[in-house]
Amino acid sequence: MKDKNTPTGSGDNNQKGPKNRQSIVIFLVFMLASFMALNFIQNMMKDAGSKEIGYNEFIEMLEEDKVEKVEDTGLTWEITPRTQPVGNVEITYYTGKMDDEALLPLLKEKGVEITPYIQDTFSTLVWQVVWSLLPLLLIWVAFGYLMRRMGGGGMMGVGKSKAKVYIEKETGVTFKDVAGQEEAKESLVEVVDFLHNPERYAEIGAKLPKGALLVGPPGTGKTLLAKAVAGEAHVPFFSLSGSDFVEMFVGVGASRVRDLFEEAKKNAPCIIFIDEIDAIGKSRDSKLGGNDEREQTLNQLLAEMDGFESNKACLVLAATNRPEILDQALLRPGRFDRRIVVERPDLKGRVDVLKVHAKNVRLDESVDLEAIALATSGAVGSDLANMINEAAILAVKNGRQAVSQKDLFEAVEVVLMGKEKKDRILSAEERKIVSYHEVGHALVSALQKDSEPVQKITIVPRTMGALGYVMHVPEEEKYLNTKKEIEAMLVGYLGGRAAEELVFETVTTGAANDIQQATKMARAMVTQYGMSEKFGLVGLESKESMYLNNGTVLNCSDETAADVDSEVMRILKESYAEAKRLLSENRDCLDKIAEFLIEKETITGKEFMEIFHKVKAEEDGYQQEELIFAE
C-alpha cells in the first residue's frame, strides 16, 4: 500500500522502481568503464610491443634466420623474431604485403612457421559489430537516465508535468493552523466542502468554482493556506510552481500544462495548486516584447481551464503577490472565479497568529501577546513566526527555561532592526550627537497631542544600519490617520535633525532615513490623500505595485509635478520649524534626557516620561516662584 505521507511525481506508482533503475544504470556505467579501461590497456600493450619495419629489412631477417613465425593478417605480415630482448614485453614486427613469388620458398627453406589469413565468418562479424557498439549503447542508456533525472522524463518526456502529487496527503497543516485570515479561510472551507459533498450543491444547481486566486503581500500565508487545503481536502493535490512550466524550448511549457490537466482529470475530484502564477500569467502585451514560450504556456492554461467539465470537480488554486500584471483573460469569471485576498493581519489577527506559533513554545507568566501585537503593526505571519522563534533562541541564550516578555520585545527589535552591533564603538562626540538626535524624536512626540507614545529609546547600533532609534507603540489599532496625526508624524520624523541643529549648530548624515520617510509622507498628503490646500481633492499619483514595494506613478504634467515638489517642500519646512520651536521651548528636558541616555544607552518609555514630567514640574515650580516674586 502506498504511504500517504510521501509525495510522488505524476504517474509514479512504484517506490522501488527508481532505486532498481539506478542500480542498473550504475552497473552499466561500471561495465562501460571496465570495457574502456581494458581496451585502453590492450591498445597500450599492443602499441608498446609492436614495431613497423621495411620489407627489405624483413627479407634480411629471413636470410639471417632471425624469424620464428610469420602471420598473414590480410593487409600485413606480422613477424615474431626467434630471440626477444631482455624485458617483460614481447616484441613483434609488422610490414606491408607485396607481390613477391620468392617469399614463400624462402619461408619454407628457413623453416619459418606460417599462419595463413582466414576470412571472418558472419557470426564473427556480428560479434565484432556488437562489441564495437556496446560502449555507445551504454553511453546512450546512461545519458537517457540523466536526462530523465534532470528533465522529468528524458528527451522524449521533457514535456511531462513536474507536479508533486499528494494523494489524501496529511501535511500536518489544517485550517486550525492558519490564523488571522478568517475571510480567506471561509472561502476555501466552502470549496473543500464542495469537493467533499458535491451532491448538496448540485441539488440546488450550484457549480464548483473552476479557480481561486490567492493574492496578497509576501509572507501573509498564501502557500500555508494551500497546504491547509491539502490537509483538509482528502483528494489528490497537485502542487507546483509557475516556473516549473517554463523551459528554454518553445512548446515545453504548453506540453506540461496538457500533461498536468490530463493527470488531474484522471484523478478527479482533485486540486491543482500553482504557486507564483505570475511566472507564466503575465499580460500578453506586445509593447513590452513577447515571449513565445511563456505566451504559449499561458494560452494552453487558458484553454485547459475552459475545457474543465463542471462534473469533474477539479479546482485550480493559484497564488501571487503581483495580481496587477496578470493577463485579464486569466482573471475573468469561468477561469479564476474567486479572488481571495490574504492581507496583513489586524491586531486580533496578529494575536491569533502569535498564539498559533507560540503553542509549542514554553512561555512564562510575564508574556502578554497583545502588547507584542500592538508593537508589530504591519507585520505579516512570517515575521511573527520569526519573532517567536528568535525569542525562544534568546531565552536559551540567556539561560532561561521559558520565554519572557523581555525576550519577545528584544526579538521584535531583532527582526525589525537587526541585532546589536557590539563591535561598533562610537566616539564620545558621536554618542552625544546620536543621543540628542533620538531624544529629539522622542521629545517632539511627547509634546504633541496626536503622536504615538514612546516605548523605548536606544543609542546601541544595529546590524541594519541604525545607530539608534525610538520605538513607538500605539495605544490601539488604527486603520485611518487624520491630517493632524500625519502632521504630528512629520514633525516627529524631523525632530532628530532639529535637535542636532539646535544643540550643535550643525547637522549630520544621520537624518537621511528620517528625511526620506518625511518626504514620502508629505508627498502622499499632496498627491494621494487630498490634504493640500493648493491642489485639493485631486489624485495626482497612483499605486504601481499593490503588494510588493508600494511604488507609485505620477499622473500629471511636468508643470504640475514641479508644483507638487514645491508644495512638499513647503510642508516639510513648516514641520521642521515646528520641531525646532518645540525643542527650543523645552531645552532643559532635551539636555537632561540626553545626558541620561548617554549614561544608560537604552531607556524605556516609562523612564523617559518620568524625567520629562520631573523637569516640567520643576519648570512649573520656578515659574510660580517668579510670579509670586514679581507680585
> Known catalytic residues?
438
CB atoms inside a 10 Å sphere around CB 223: 18
Cis peptide leading into residue 269 (ω within 30°): yes
DSSP for 424-474? Answer: ----HHHHHHHHHHHHHHHHHHHH-TTSPPEEEEE---BTTS-S-EEEE--
Q: Which residue has the cell 630471440?
A: 83
| CA dist 353 → 215, 221, 306, 347 (Å) | 19, 11, 38, 10
Question: Given CA atoms 381, 385, 388, 391 in this order, what sign does their dihedral have?
Answer: negative
Q: Taking a C-beta distance cutoff of 8 angstroms, is the pair 356, 179 a contact?
A: yes
Q: Taking a C-beta distance cutoff of 8 angstroms, is the pair 562, 540 a contact?
A: no
Give the three cell numbers for residue 492.
Answer: 516627529
| CA dist 77 → 54, 107, 109, 232, 374 (Å) | 11, 12, 18, 82, 98
Distance CA(288)–CA(283), nearest Å, equals 10
Helix, strand or coil for residue 304? Answer: helix
Contacts of 540 (CB under 8 A, 6+ apart): 526, 527, 528, 554, 555, 556, 560, 564
Distance CA(604)–CA(405), nearest Å, equals 14
Element (H, E) at 159: none
Give the three cell numbers for residue 626.
Answer: 517668579
Helix, strand or coil for residue 255? Answer: helix
Give the three cell numbers for residue 294.
Answer: 511563456
Q: What is the DSSP letter of 188?
A: H
* Nearest alpha carbon to residue 274 among 311, 231, 226: 226
Q: Which residue has the cell 532592526?
A: 417
What is the distance, to the nearest Å, from the Cα of residue 461 to the centroid of all Cα atoms in its chain? Answer: 29
* Nearest alpha carbon to residue 72 among 112, 109, 122: 112
Distance CA(586)–CA(616), nearest Å, equals 9
Residue 240's DSSP bridge partners are 274
Burial (0-12, 13-18, 19+ Cβ within 10 Å), 492: buried
Distance CA(350)–CA(377), nearest Å, equals 8
CB atoms inside a 10 Å sphere around CB 562: 11
Helix, strand or coil for residue 320? Answer: strand
Distance CA(3)–CA(12), nearest Å, equals 12
CB atoms inside a 10 Å sphere around CB 175: 19
Distance CA(420)–CA(189), nearest Å, equals 44
Q: Residue 475 carries which side chain, given as an amino acid letter? A: E
